[in-house]
Structure 1
Amino acid sequence: MVTLRGPPSLHSRFSHIIMIVVILVLFIHTIRMANQQQQQRVKGPLLKDAEMIPEGTTSPEELYLSRLAHDLGLSTEVSWRTWRIVPSEQSEHWPSLTKVNLDFEGVAPNIVNPGMGEHMDLYARKRMELPVPVSPLLGKTDASDFLFGVSTTYARLRDRDYAMIKAWSRWLTDGHHHSNGASLVVVLNQARAGELNEIDEMLQATGIDCWVTTTEEPMSMARRYFELSRILKTFAANLAANGQDKRWFGLVEDDVFFPSLSHLRDRLFSYNTDGRYYIGLPSEQLDWETQGNTITTYGGGAILLTRTAISEVPNLPCFQTKKSSSSSFFQSKRWDELLYDCLLEHTDMDMHVLPGFFSPNDEPSESETDSYETGLQPLLLRRYTERHLLNINKAHLVTSVCGESCFMQRYLFKDNWVLVNGVSLTRYPDGVQVSQRPGPSLEKRTLEDHDGDSDETHDEVLVEEEELAEQAPEEEEEKKKKKKKPKMSRRVIVDDDLNSVDRAELLWTGRKDVWRLVDSAMAKDRAVWQAYVKRANRNDPSSDQRDSVIVLIWEHAKAMV
C-alpha cells in the first residue's frame, strides 16, 4: 500500500496522474501482448523448422543430442559422430560426383547415453573442407521474372503446421520475411472468410508477395487451374501497370518445390520470352506415361508459359463449353492433361520439356540408386514427402550456408562413404565403383547433331558406325536384342543436352547402410546442423541395438579465420 502526503488537492491530482499512467501502461502492454500473440500465431510456426540450437551450461552438441533423443525417441545408447564442414566455392560447374580424398570414418563415433543429459563430453572438433559450386545464398536471387499460380485447399495448407507454406517460403523469399521478387497467386477451394484471412496472414508474414482468393462454388481441379490462368493474365497486367513486368507464368501444384530459382532461370535462358512458349517440367520417371510404344508427359505438375502463351489459354475453345456440360468436361481429365490436349489441338504450340532427374533420352541405368541420390542438380522436386519421405524445409536449410547449388550435391569419400547433401549418408562396406554414364546413342547423335549436314559428313558418320560395329560385333548384337525405347509423343520436344551433362553412376555389391536426414537446425553463429540417423534393427536381436546419429555442422567460411 502506498501512502501519499500533502494537501488534499495535491493528493487528488497526483492520484489522477497515477491512474492515467497506469491505464496508459496497461493499454500499451495489452497492445504489445496482442501483437506478440499475433506474431506468435502467424510467424511462430514458420520458424520451427529453422529452430536455433539451444544454449545452456553444457556443450551445443550435448544439447542437440538431448533434443534429438526427445523428439525422435532414440535408443538408450546412441552412436554419435560429428564433422564440422566449411564449404569452399570452386567452380560454376555442377559435378555429378565430387571425390573427397579423406576417410569419413577419420572421426570415430562416441557411444553415449542421451538420458544422462549432461557431461557426455561431446565436442565437434574435426573439420573438413568440401568444394561447392558457386551459387547465391538463399534470398540473394532476383526472381522478379516469375509469377506463379497454385490451386489448393485450406486443409492442405494448414496440415502439418503449415508445412507447405514453409516450403513455399524457401523459394519465394529471402528467408528473412522479404520477397525475392517472385509473385504468387493462391486460389483456395471454397474457403470460409476466416480461413481465407488466416492463410493470407500466414503468407504475408513469411514475406511472400502474394494474392489469395477463393472459389465460391464446387470446382474440379482442372476447372480451378483454368480459372487460375485467367487470374494470372489479369494479375500480370495489374503488376505491369505498377512497373513489375513478369516474363514467366507458372501453373504449379502445391507440392512442387524449386530448390533454386536461379538455376531454373538459367535453364530458361535460351527461350525468347517475347515468343509463345509452353514448357513442362517433369522431374522423375513417375511424371512420364507410357502408352503402348509412346511415352509422354503433361508437365509433371509444373507448367511455365510466356506472356503471349498464357494470354491465349483463357480463350481456347476447350474452355468455352456450355455451362450444362462444362462440369463433366473438366472432371474428365487432369488439369495438365486437359491443357496439353487443348493447346495441341487449337494452337501450333509444341510442349517443350526441361527434364529433371529422368529424360526419355537417357540410356537405361543399372543402378538402384534413388533419383534424389543420382548426383543430378535438381530443377524441381515434386511430391517429395510421399515419394522420398523428405522434410524439405529441414533438407534445404543448408543452402543458407553453402548456396542454392550445394543442396543434393554428392560426395564420395576415400573409404566408400557417400554424402548427398540434405538427403542421406551411405556407407558401402564392400566397396563401390564409379561408372560414367553415356550420353545419347551414336545413332541419335547422327540424327540430331548432323541434321541438315552435307552427304559427305553423313557418310563419314555412317562409316564410323560401321567401324564400331566391326570392332565390337557382340556388343552390337546385344544392343539389337535390347527392347527399343518408346517413341516420344507427338509435338513434345525434350530440350536436354545430355552430351554436356556429367553423369557418374555408383555401382556396388553387398551391403549398403543408409543414414537419412531427419533434422536440421541453425545455431547462433548461423551454422547449420544436420542430423542423419540410422535406426537400430529391433527385429534382429543379433545386430547392434544402438541408433546411430551423424551430425554435420556446415559453417560459414569466415568461421575458419
Structure 2
Amino acid sequence: MGLQITLEFQNRPALEVIYVQNGNESHALDCTLNVTHLQELQWRHGLQENIDYGRRYIRFHREKIPRASMTEIDSDLFPGGFDTINVNKPPTGTACPKPLDVPVTRSPYPSSVDASDLLFGISTSFDRLSDPKTGPIIEWSHWLTNGNGKSNGAGLILRLVDASNAELEATSQMMKEMGMDVKVFPSDSRTDMAKRYLSLLPALYQDSQHKKRKYLVMCDDDTFFPSMHRLLKLLATYDHTTDLYMGTFSEDVNNIQRHGSQAFGGAGVFVSVPLAKKVSSFFSQCSTSQKIEESNSGWGPQGDILLRKCIYENTDVRLTMLRDLHQLDIVGDPAGFYESGIAPLSLHHFKGGIWHEAHPYEGAQVMHACGEDCFLQRFQTKDNYIISNGFSVAHYPKGIDFNVHQMERTFGPQPDDFGWNLDFMLGPGRKRLLMTGRKASWELKESRVEENGSLRQTYIRKADDWRWSFEMGGKGWKMFDKDGVVELIWIS
C-alpha cells in the first residue's frame, strides 16, 4: 500500500494552493468582519479574545519605473487608527478608508517564466519532506512551477536518504501532481555526506536532459529562489558554454575563514554544463578518503569544500560571485535583512531551529498579483509606517529619523559574534530599535487569494513580544496590551 503525503504548515490547515491571476478587474471594498475568519486566525496564531485590528486595501499601479528600495507615499496607512474588537463577538464592520494607491514596477509574473535552462539537484530525507515545520515542497513549487500547477521548465533531481520504495513513489507522485518536473532517487546514508553532495553534480550531468540545460544547480532543501525571471536575467549575462562555477560566500566572515573562499551551497551553486562534465570525470579522484578528510574544516567533512577542491585542484576555474544570492548564516530576529528593501535571488536557513525563521513562500505570493519586483519592496507612509511587502508592516511612533538604506542589525552570526562579522557582505548595520519603544512590527503569517481575485496578507503582532517594549526606570514596559492583526488586501 502506497504512502500519502499531506502538506501542512505549522499551526495551519492542510494546504490549499490558489494563485492570483493577472487580471485588471476592479474590486469593491468589503468592510465586513467575518467571525469565522477571525476565530481561525485566533486558533492558528494563539491570539487573545480582544485584539487591535486594522484592514487596508492597497491598489497597485504597474508602471514603467525601476524598482525602488523605498517608495514614499503621501498618505496615511491607518488614518483612523485601529479597531478594538472581540474575536468571538466582532462588530459587523471595520474602518474601511479608500484604497492606498502605490506605484510598482511593471515586472514579469511567475506564470510567464521559462526556466528550462536550469536543472536542480537536492539531497534530503523523507522525514524532512513530510514534517509540517521543515517540509520544503511548497517552497519548491514556487520556483519549479508557473504558479498554475504546471512546470516552468526547470527540472529537479531529488535524492532521498535511506528512503523506501513507497516513500520514493509517494514523493514523486505528489510533486508531479503539483506540477514539478522531478525525478526521485534513493541515497545511502553509509556514504559520507560530503561525497553524497559532490556526487549530485555527476548525477545532474548524466541526466538525459542535461544537453538542453545551461546550468546545473546544487542547493539545500531549505533554499528558496523568489524571482526566477531576475535569476535567469542575471545568468544570461554570462557565457554558459564556458567553464563557470558561480555562487556566493556566507555573510559571516568567520565561516569564510573556517570553510574557505567558495560557493556556499545553501545560497545555490551554479555550474555550467562544460565544467560539470569535467568534474564528473574527476569525481573518483576528488572523492577519495583522503580528499574527504581534507574537506573537514573542524565541523566534519563539507560538501562545499569538496566541490571547491575538485574544481580548484583540477582546473583553472575560480568562483564567480553572484552577490544577490544569500546563504543567510544568521540567527535571531531576521527583520533587519528582510526589511531593508533588498531584492534577493535566493534565501536560505529560514526554517528556524538554530537559524532564523521567516515565511518567504507566503510573502512571495504577492508576486502573482503585482509582479516579481513587489516582493520585499518597501512603502513608507505619512503616519510613519513602512510596509516591507511580504514580510512586515512596521510602525515607528517617534518618527523615521534613521538611515533606511542601512540594515537594522536585529540579527547576529552563529556561533561567534565579534560585531563586524557580517559587515563585509551586508554592510555595516544601524543600531537595532528593539526594546526602545521606537518600533513595533506586524509580521506576515498568511497570504491567500479571496474569491474576487484580490490577495489578502495577514500580519500578526503579539502583545507579549519582548521586542515591542521600552525601558523606563530600569523596568521594561510593554507597548501594547492586546495582540494585533493587520490585513492588507492588494487589488489592481
Q: Give the shorter-chain TM-score range.
A: 0.7 to 0.9
Matched, 1:522 2:449: yes
Q: Partners in 2 of 1:254 and 1:94 — Cα distance?
A: 29
Deviations 1:450-498 (A, max 9, x none): xxxxxxxxxxxxxxxxxxxxxxxxxxxxxxxxx999999xxxxx9x9x9
Aligned pairs for 1:360-375 (under 5 A) are 370-375=336-341
Matched, 1:180 2:152: yes
Aligned pairs for 1:255-334 (under 5 A) are 255-282=222-249, 285-286=251-252, 289-291=255-257, 296-301=261-266, 302-316=268-282, 319=285, 332-334=300-302
Partner of 2:482: 546
Partner of 2:76: 103
Deviations 1:271-322 (A, max 9, x none): 111111100144x624873539x98343342100111011111222664555
The letter for the 2-side match of 1:247 is K
CA distance 1:288–1:166, change in 2 (3 Å): farther
Q: Partners in 2 of 1:285 and 1:167 — Cα distance?
A: 22
Partner of 1:6: none
Partner of 2:173: 201
Out of 126, 131, 152, the residue aligned to residue 154 of structure 1 is: 126
CA distance 1:543–1:431, change in 2 (3 Å): closer
Matched, 1:220 2:147: no
Partner of 1:472: none
CA distance 1:254–1:486, change in 2 (3 Å): closer
CA distance 1:552–1:287, change in 2 (3 Å): farther
Q: Partners in 2 of 1:287 and 1:147 — Cα distance?
A: 30
Q: Partners in 2 of 1:219 and 1:100 — Cα distance?
A: 56
Deviations 1:1-22 (A, max 9, x none): xxxxxxxxxxxxxxxxxxxxxx
Out of 138, 146, 150, the residue aligned to residue 110 of structure 2 is: 138
Out of 213, 224, 227, the residue aligned to residue 246 of structure 1 is: 213
Partner of 1:344: 312
Q: Partners in 2 of 1:345 and 1:370 — Cα distance?
A: 39
SS in 1 for 2:40: helix
Q: Partners in 1 of 2:421 and 2:252 — Cα distance?
A: 16
Q: Partners in 2 of 1:52 and 1:62 — Cα distance?
A: 24
| Maintained 8 Å contact 1:138/1:399 | yes
Partner of 2:343: 377
| Maintained 8 Å contact 2:156/2:183 | yes
Identity across aligned pairs (percent)?
26
Deviations 1:155-185 (A, max 9, x none): 1111117830000001110122200111110
Matched, 1:67 2:40: yes
- Structure 1 position 507, deviation (Å): 8.9
Gaps of 5+ in 1: 1-33, 360-367, 439-482, 489-493
Deviations 1:46-82 (A, max 9, x none): 97264799xxx99465443222112222112111111
| Maintained 8 Å contact 1:374/1:505 | no
Partner of 2:416: none
Partner of 2:50: 77
CA distance 1:507–1:91, change in 2 (3 Å): farther
| Maintained 8 Å contact 1:279/1:305 | yes
The letter for the 2-side match of 1:296 is S
Out of 63, 73, 76, the residue aligned to residue 90 of structure 1 is: 63
Q: Rg larger in 1 or in 2?
A: 1
Partner of 2:24: none
The letter for the 2-side match of 1:267 is L
Partner of 1:536: 463
| Maintained 8 Å contact 1:153/1:191 | yes
Structure in which a larger fraction of residues adopt helix: 1
Aligned-residue CA RMSD (Å) = 3.8
CA distance 1:538–1:175, change in 2 (3 Å): closer
Gaps of 5+ in 2: 21-29, 328-333, 407-418, 467-475
The letter for the 1-side match of 2:138 is K
CA distance 1:377–1:80, change in 2 (3 Å): same
Q: Partners in 1 of 2:446 and 2:390 — Cα distance?
A: 9
Q: Partners in 2 of 1:330 and 1:485 — Cα distance?
A: 23
Partner of 1:432: 400
Q: Partners in 2 of 1:170 and 1:113 — Cα distance?
A: 36
Partner of 1:5: none
- Structure 1 position 403, deviation (Å): 1.3
Deviations 1:197-221 (A, max 9, x none): 1111121111100111012452232
Aligned pairs for 1:402-421 (under 5 A) are 402-421=370-389
- Structure 1 position 340, deviation (Å): 1.1
The letter for the 2-side match of 1:257 is F
- Structure 1 position 138, deviation (Å): 2.6
Q: Partners in 1 of 2:129 and 2:478 — Cα distance?
A: 44
Q: Partners in 2 of 1:206 and 1:104 — Cα distance?
A: 37
Deviations 1:247-280 (A, max 9, x none): 1110111110000111111122221111111001
SS in 1 for 2:81: coil
- Structure 1 position 536, deviation (Å): 0.9
Q: Partners in 2 of 1:426 and 1:153 — Cα distance?
A: 37
SS in 2 for 1:385: coil
TM-score (norm. length: structure 1): 0.71
| Maintained 8 Å contact 1:357/1:371 | no
- Structure 1 position 144, deviation (Å): 1.1
Out of 143, 151, 157, the residue aligned to residue 171 of structure 1 is: 143
